């Protein structure tokens, strides 16, 4: 398999994905965008709560600070 075949395959897959996305309505795009924002907010919240817990376990912050941050 050479680089031209790989590039052609990637190009065709991109074209198929764009054609599929072109069929979406504005409501579909808004729904997917809202779901992505919600998932992103969940991941960011999980990450910082985990980091705060790790700081508490390491003794770098007090229990009061931990509880204040995680309200």
pLDDT tens-place string over residues 15-64: 999 999 999 999 999 999 999 999 999 999 999 999 999 999 999 999 99
CB of 66 closer than 8 Å to CB of 58: no
Domain count, the chain: 1
Prediction pTM value:
0.67
Distance separating the N- and C-terminal Cα atoms of the chain: 56
In a domain, 30, yes or no: yes
Say yes or no to pLDDT of 70 above 90: no
In a domain, 41, yes or no: yes
Instruction: Enter the tokens of residue 67.
Output: 């509880």
In a domain, 18, yes or no: no
In a domain, 59, yes or no: yes
Reported as type and span, the H/E element at residue 7 is helix 3-22
Say yes or no to pLDDT of 71 above 90: no
Range of the domain at 39: 25-71
């Amino acid at each position: 398999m050479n680089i031209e075949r790989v590039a052609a395959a990637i190009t065709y897959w991109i074209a198929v994905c764009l054609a599929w996305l072109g069929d979406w309505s504005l409501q579909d795009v808004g729904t997917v965008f809202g779901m992505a924002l919600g998932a992103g907010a969940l991941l960011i919240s999980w990450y910082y709560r985990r980091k705060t817990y790790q700081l508490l376990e390491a003794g770098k912050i007090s229990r009061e600070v931990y509880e204040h941050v995680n309200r």
